[in-house]
A and B are shown apart, each in its own frame.
Chain A
């Protein structure tokens, strides 16, 4: 495959999954001001490893794996607490076609996700939001299947607890 063909294929995939990628980075706790930079970093990694990607398999789990590692690397470099003022703020994207309730629900979910430690949050996001089978989650994250199930169980409990607390209004600043 020629270089231009690979470039085009990679760019086309990036364009197709850009919304998903940026939302995934947000779910992984990346600060809004860093999302574009990290999305670009994911693109560069995707391009570099495009030869290794099996096009017969879905792209999203593969992309998620890259995004997860890029976000983790970014977090190690620029670790800081994610304030709820940021997480709970209105999404920058306009959603003229979405109900106010839907935006509220999204904000609540994002805020609750921030309460879950990353190793478990990743499993929850991949399985319960992206609807990726647990086996594939385990393979993408290079963890044992049993560990994936265990993290999912714990993450769901933490998510429920966070939602309950925030709906009561006790934890929302």
Chain B
């Protein structure tokens, strides 16, 4: 800060206000569950992004259509040429040859068809990634901007697991397992599946079903090898011993 800036700096806060700010400057940690949920969601978005930007599922659209269009163009040219041949055959006089030579020059207009066709098809390929990678800021659903096709399930999914967590907090592990099963049935590849599996292990541990808990934990390790919740899972299993 230069001297000119220090001259502009407004008077400092009073000591009492400053003392309050000191508390707020230290950013409190979010609950582990909230952090895990946010990170799982972020990872899910990253996993979903390639599907929109680089997935082979997208590329066939612009590739296939030009092929179809070219094939249609060729068929059309062949049809026109054949028509000219058929029309031309009964007349064995020199004008027939002129007609045929005209027919062989016909491909030019139809061959233009395939050109605009792919450019028309490029449009959805361009818009799809944009919609799936990052939500348009002005669009209403941008606060639930995950993978296309899943945007409706987010809140329901969250609420279902929220109820499961409440049951977990009350120690009603059987209810937790029922909700976990319900979640798995409704959202087999849900964005909160990582959190769901943690709840499953916790409930199984809570019910004393050790072997099933270990089995679920092993599956969790396989499914989410980089999860921040691995330690938590291991801690739960440790409590069984």
Q: Which residues of A contact B (CB under 8 A)?
A: 3, 7, 10-11, 14-15, 18-20, 22-23, 34, 36-41, 43-45, 47-48, 69-70, 73-74, 77, 91-95, 98, 102, 105-106, 108-110, 112, 128-129, 131, 133-135, 145-146, 149, 152-153, 156, 159-160, 163
Contacts and interface: CB of A to CB of B under 8 A. Distances in A.
Contacts of A152: 9-10
| Majority DSSP secondary structure for residues of B touching A | helix
B23 interface: yes
A11 B42 contact: yes
A43 B9 contact: no
A54 B134 CA distance: 20
A93 B39 contact: no
Contacts of A48: 133-134
B92 interface: no
Contact of A98 (B8, B14, B28, B50): B28
Contacts of A10: 46
Contacts of A134: 1, 5, 9
B239 interface: no
A18 B13 CA distance: 28
Contacts of A105: 19-20, 23-24
Interface stretch (B140-148, B174-182, B211-219): B140-148
**Chain B CB within 10 A, most for which of A7, A20, A98, A145:** A7
Nearest to A95: B28
Given A40-B38, A105-B24, 10 more contacts: A14-B39, A22-B30, A37-B144, A47-B49, A108-B20, A134-B5, A146-B8, A156-B12, A160-B17, A163-B16
A74 B35 CA distance: 21
Contact of B25 (A34, A73, A131, A159): A131
**Chain B CB within 10 A, most for which of A20, A106, A110:** A106
Contact of A39 (B14, B31, B38, B135): B38
29 contacts: A10-B46, A11-B46, A14-B39, A18-B35, A19-B27, A19-B35, A22-B34, A34-B143, A40-B143, A40-B145, A41-B142, A47-B49, A47-B133, A48-B134, A77-B140, A92-B31, A93-B28, A94-B31, A105-B19, A105-B24, A128-B13, A128-B21, A134-B1, A134-B5, A135-B5, A145-B5, A145-B8, A152-B10, A159-B17
Nearest to B133: A48
B93 interface: no
B143 A93 contact: no
**Chain A CB within 10 A, most for which of B8, B28, B45, B138:** B28
Contact of B10 (A20, A40, A110, A156): A156
A14 B24 CA distance: 21
B221 interface: no
A107 to B, nearest CB: 10
Interface of B: 1, 5, 8-14, 16-17, 19-21, 23-25, 27-31, 34-35, 37-39, 41-43, 45-46, 49-50, 54, 133-135, 137-138, 140, 142-145, 228
Contacts of A109: 20-21, 23-24
A106 B43 CA distance: 31
Given A14-B39, A48-B134, A134-B5, A41 B145 contact: yes
Closest 4 CB pairs of A and B: A153-B10, A105-B23, A37-B143, A109-B24
A152 B10 CA distance: 7
Contacts of A22: 30, 34, 38
B180 to A, nearest CB: 21
Contact of B39 (A18, A23, A145, A163): A18
A40 B27 contact: no
A65 to B, nearest CB: 14
A41 to B, nearest CB: 6
Given A34-B143, A109-B21, A129-B25, A149 B16 contact: no
